Structure 1
Amino acid sequence: MTKYYWFLLLLPFLLVGGAKTCIAQTQEMVQLIVHTTQPSSDKQTESHKASFAVYDVTKSFYQLRKKGFTVEETQQIIARQGTSAGSFLMEKLVKSNNDGEDVAIFDLRESTNQIGNVYLVNETTHIADAFVGSQNVVVVLPLYDSYDHPQKAIHLYPKMNQEPSAIVFEKKLVEEKNTYSIGEKIYYQLDIQFPNGIATEETCVVTDSATKELELLTESLKVHSEEKHLENLTFHSHSQGFSIAFNGQDLQDLAGKTVRINYQMRLRQDAIADQSIINQATLDIGTASLSRSTRIRTGGKWFQKVTTDKEQQVLEDAMFMIKNQQEEYLHLKDGKYCWKKRARDAITLTSDRNGLFSINGLADGEYLLEEIKAPKGYKRNPYAVSFVVKSMSYAINGQPSEPLKITNQKQETSFLFPKTTDEKISVGMIGGISIIGSFIIYQKNRSKEE
């Protein structure tokens, strides 16, 4: 049996309408539901129906990742290697569910020792009247939906009647980084390689949608094919994404060609550090649907103002500014972070009654914390403190990370020169009274002598 292997993006549908086919899940288990593309004939016996086997390829997957391959590249390599890449777990025949669909259901462990498991789904026998056998599918767990929730029921569509010349759909970040500051632009790119057979389809729709922390810059949206700008397409956009529709004539013109979609999004001010910020693109052609997603994040840091003594008492009302390595101050203007040489109007941070304060929305990197006002009765630090923003420096599983402690020394109190205004007034009054009293005594003594 000839098989054609191409990278299949798993369409992450939650099990809603097909709840009848799902059994109870635990938090540690997931369910892979493998669909065939056409129902079996009434004349087929169980031995002639498709069957699928699952292999554990976790070890092979992470070995390849250590060599520098991306997740997608590693999935492609393992799909081509096939069953030799892992160890056999189980095999099942497809069975018709209550909805009349032929499915094979596998209950599998989501992780082992807190490391996500990776499975290869391989067709062992196929429906006799299918065009070709299913391609190998590599599933990397955990899988998340567009709301960043881990999925416990994962539907797979191996395209049993898919033509060998499959569509290639890719999404990536143009820049080689995944952490950004508030207001910064994120550059995205979608590539669609249409096969020659696409000309027979009536419509194709590309949909892109991001979480609320991202804002689409509509004017940045550009569609090209072989360096030719495509304008006569149907566009719809909203603040978090867009859709582009290709009609039958468009698809005939684009058969065998690659379409590239470039666009930008901006990180909004309400983004929270150390939370996944997802942008997902979906390609719908006929009954087929492919999906790609990218994740970015922004960072931050917690601090706590304390005394230098052993008790490390918390200090309130200390004030700070943030600087970069070029000694520029952090400013916020029109919902965007920017760096300027001047300190005036820069962002200020103030320690609360627990001595705590934080900065949110910075890209990973090294920064400086400059104290501009010390707590009452304490010396201001003359030097800026260096700190690092990185993954989980702001929050771990939604909880604040351990703060970086910033210490202050008490000011020395002089007996002759008291520090507070009230004390100065008291000493001044005593001194004045003493002078007046001495003068009165002097006058009395002088009068007696006369």
Structure 2
Amino acid sequence: MFGVFGISEAASAAGATVDVTLHKKKMDEFPTKEIQNTGEEMSEFDQYKALPGVEFTAWDITTDFYKKLDVELAKLPENHSDAEYDAAVKKVKQEFKLADANNAISKGTKTTDKDGLATFEDLEERDAGGIYKVYLFDETEKEGVTAGAYPLFLILPALKEDGTPIKDIHLYPKNKVKPEDIDKEIVDENGKPITAPTEGRYDYEVGKEIYYRATFTIPSQIGDELIGEDGSKQTRYSKLNFTDAVDKTGVKFESISKITADDQEIDLTEFQKHGTISLKNTESNYDKDQFAGFEIVMNLNNATNKNDDPNYQISRATADYLKNYAGQKLAIYYAVSLTDDTPVDESVENSFTVDLNHDNSQEDEVQTVVDPPVVTTGGRKFIKVDSKELDQGLAGAEFVVIKTEGSEEYFLKIEAKTRTWVKVVGDDYTDAKIFTSKDDGTFEVTGLTYGDYSLREITAPNGYSKLEDDFDFTISKDSYTDEAAQLKIANVTKGGFLPSTGGTGIIAFLIIGMGLMTYAYIRYRKLNQDV
């Protein structure tokens, strides 16, 4: 897409000038075929987004260019053809190096604005000898932007098809822009990003929905077509798949709530006419040993209209649909939730991958999110013991978990899928989850976020006094998996019931004993007398 405007004998007023506007567009790949600049605005490029911040310097290279062209023309017969002349011009452009142009004159530097435009005004059409000028627009290297293989040349005059001179010239430099990295982040229920925790892991209660947003920029040339040597047609892109996968079992996929393009919501019904959405490990097919996630497969393929027209038409329709969102940022909003089957205190990662293929490549281009957000659920282990014998576990102690917010207390209620907090009213813990110590005295609290909690004993082990105060504890990173973090909760025995020396209890025993001895003696005498 460089200016190839021929030398013309058309008259031009002395001191005449032209304005040149460069249109810089975002393209993820170079065009499949050369697009000739016309010198006028071209609707072919309207589908592409503007590329701001690219710097160009305009150079008057007239003297150096024609010196090199004269060398090439000298190799041609005197009556050379137009085709031979054009070939010589093309050769000079391909081999031209600005660094070797000793007579080049800078005409200023411009940077493309928010609309991707950089305009050089009042460039002279001719030199003092009446020769039409030749300009080169040198693009400064910019990270992530690959310019075309050859510089952008403008050989005046620029003419319309009817031979009319163009004074306001528009050129479209060829470039290839590195696609934006795909991304994934945790958001709130309204889609707003949540600040990353200092611990490095987002902590959630079991049953609470975790909202994600995964983003990918749709290729600018998603709607392009390839033309084979036999004239056959196929879509330039033959694959575009999105895959999300959780790396731990015991996680449930909730739903895809919406898909947007540049923050505008897409009609999911229409979207699914051009792609298949598959959800894994949802409520209806949940399996604690399976992995949650989703897969979106767009209906693109590599069929041509000559070898498989029905599938080509499917791919063509999908490419045309996606073309509406070319260059736009696609965002997929979805949610998962942790369950009682989710490993406690372990990092749960959720990868996001985009798999695409274009230009009949032998290998797919796979993009994967680097450092996806990590979630977890917390817990703590306890052991109920005798205060005098700390290695002696005690069974049967019953506790409820208390959380304090301001001046209010709430107890933990666990239902089939969720955890909720109910305000404490008096001593009523009817709906509370009861945690009971086992025979060895152990029990655990899991599926909670990081934070401070308390255990309130509502039933003490038999023979022991109930704790008068709540037992405070904290859930944090590794508080469940670290065996050294197990907390001991000691109870004091109420004591036995042995009678005191000299008390009424021992007198009763003595009376009973003496009575039994007297009965035995009398029985013995009676038996001897009978004999």
- The runs of 4+ residues in structure 1 deviating greater than 3 Å are 197-200, 412-417
Deviates more, 1:279-288 or 1:269-278: 269-278
Q: Which of the residues 212, 215, 220 maps onto 2:252?
A: 215
Query: CA separation of 1:406/1:192 partners in 2, compared to 1, >3 Å: closer, same or farther?
Result: same
1:289 aligns with 2:326: no
Rate the CA distance shift 1:413–1:229 in 2: closer, same or farther, 3 A: same
Alignment coverage as a number of residue pairs: 264
Residue 274 of structure 1: aligned partner: 345
Q: Secondary structure at the match of 1:345?
A: coil
Residue 363 of structure 2 is aligned to residue 305 of structure 1? no
Counterpart of 1:206 in structure 2 is 242
Cα displacement (A) at 1:416: 7.3
Structure 2 distance, partners of 1:378, 1:214, is: 41
Cα displacement (A) at 1:229: 2.1
Distance 1:167 1:325, change over 3 A: same
| Aligned partner of residue 202 in structure 1, secondary structure | strand
Give the superposition deviation at 1:252: 1.6
Once residues 313 and 377 of structure 1 are traced to their aligned partners in structure 2, the CA distance between those partners, rounded to angstroms, is: 14
How far residue 169 of structure 1 moved from its aligned partner, in angstroms, is: 0.8
Residue 251 of structure 2 contacts residue 341 of structure 2 at CA under 8 Å; is this kept in 1?
no
C-alpha distance in structure 2 between counterparts of 1:319 and 1:404, whole Å: 16
> Which residue of the partner structure matches residue 492 of structure 2?
409
Alignment equivalent of 1:236, drawn from 244, 256, 278: 278
Matched, 1:328 2:407: no
Give how far 1:413 is off: 4.9
TM alignment of 1:246-285, pairs within 5 A:
246=298, 247-285=318-356
For 1:321 and 1:332, locate their aligned partners in 2 and report how far apart those are by CA, in whole Å.
Answer: 11
Match of 1:245 among 297, 300, 309: 297
Query: What is the identity, as a one-letter code, of the residue corresponding to 1:186?
Result: I
Could you tell me which amino acid in structure 2 is paired with residue 319 of structure 1? E
Contact 1:202 1:248 in 2 (8 A): no
Classify the secondary structure of the residue corresponding to 1:248: helix
Per the TM alignment, residue 390 of structure 1 is displaced from its structure 2 partner at its CA by: 0.7
The answer to whether the 8 A contact 2:390-2:490 is kept is: no
2-structure distance, mates of 1:310, 1:378? 13
Task: Specify the SS of the correspondent of 1:249.
Answer: helix
Displacement of 1:195 after TM fit? 4.2
Q: CA offsets per residue over residues 365-395 of structure 1, 9 Å max, x none? A: 1111111111121110011111000111111
User: Quick one: which amino acid aligns to residue 186 of structure 2?
Assistant: L
The whole-number CA distance in structure 1 between the counterparts of 2:497 and 2:280 is 65
2:217 pairs with 1:193: yes
Which protein shows a greater Rg?
A: 2
Which residue matches 2:394? 315
Contact 1:302 1:401 in 2 (8 A): no
1:375 aligns with 461
AA partner of residue 401 (structure 2): I
Describe the shift of the 1:195–1:165 C-alpha distance in structure 2 as closer, same or farther (beyond 3 A). farther
Could you tell me whether the CA contact under 8 Å between 1:370 and 1:383 is conserved in 2? Answer: yes
Structure 1 CA distance for aligned equivalents of residues 338 and 392 of structure 2: 37
- Equivalent in the alignment of 1:346: 432
Aligned residues of 2:258 and 2:265 also touching (Cα < 8 A) = no
- Deviation at 1:228? 3.1
**Letter paired with 2:456:** E
Distance in 2, matches of 1:171 and 1:394, equals 28
8 Å CA contact 1:299, 1:364 repeated in 2: yes
Query: Which residue is 2:140 aligned to?
Result: none
Q: Deviations over 1:398-425 (max 9, x none)?
A: xx453111111121456679xxxxxxxx
More strand per residue: 1
5+ long unaligned stretches in structure 2: 1-147, 150-174, 188-193, 225-236, 282-291, 299-317, 358-363, 516-531
Q: C-alpha deviations, 1:23-72, integer Å up to 9, x for none?
A: xxxxxxxxxxxxxxxxxxxxxxxxxxxxxxxxxxxxxxxxxxxxxxxxxx
Identical-pair percentage: 26
1:171 paired to 2:171? no
| Structure 1 residue 302: Cα displacement | 0.6
Distance 1:224 1:390, change over 3 A: same
Q: What SS does the aligned partner of 2:320 have?
A: helix
| Secondary structure of the structure 1 residue equivalent to 2:421 | strand
Q: Distance in 2 between matches of 1:354 and 1:334?
A: 27
The two structures have a TM-score, normalised by structure 2, of: 0.45
Structure 2 counterpart of 1:213, which letter? G
* Cα-to-partner distance string for 1:157-180 (whole Å, 9 max, x where unaligned): xxxxx9433243101111335111
* 8 Å CA contact 1:364, 1:388 repeated in 2: yes
What are the equivalent positions in structure 2 for 1:415-426 lying under 5 Å apart? none
What is aligned with 2:260?
224
> Under a length normalisation based on structure 1, what TM-score does the superposition of the two structures give?
0.53
* TM-superposed deviation, 1:225: 1.1
Shift of 1:297: 0.8
Partner of 1:99: none
Distance 1:371 1:192, change over 3 A: same
CA contact (8 A) 2:385 2:491 kept: yes
Equivalence map 1:70-85=2 (5 Å): none
CA distance in 1, matches of 2:265, 2:208: 29
How far apart are residue 193 of structure 1 and its match? Answer: 2.0
Shift of 1:334: 2.4
Counterpart in the other structure of 1:124: none
CA distance in 1: counterparts of 2:414 and 2:387, whole angstroms:
32
**In the TM superposition, what whole-angstrom CA distance separates every residue of 1:82-124 from its partner, at most 9, and x where no partner exists?**
xxxxxxxxxxxxxxxxxxxxxxxxxxxxxxxxxxxxxxxxxxx
Q: Paired residue for 2:445, among 359, 367, 371?
A: 359
Paired residues for 1:17-28 under 5 Å: none
Superposition CA RMSD, Å: 3.1
Measured in 1, the distance between the counterparts of 2:492 and 2:435 equals: 20
Q: Contact conserved, 1:315 with 1:375, CA < 8 A, in 2? A: yes
Judge conservation of contact 1:207–1:283 (CA < 8 Å) in 2: yes
Once the two structures are TM-superposed, the CA of residue 236 in structure 1 deviates from its matched residue by 2.1
Give the SS at the match of 2:373: strand
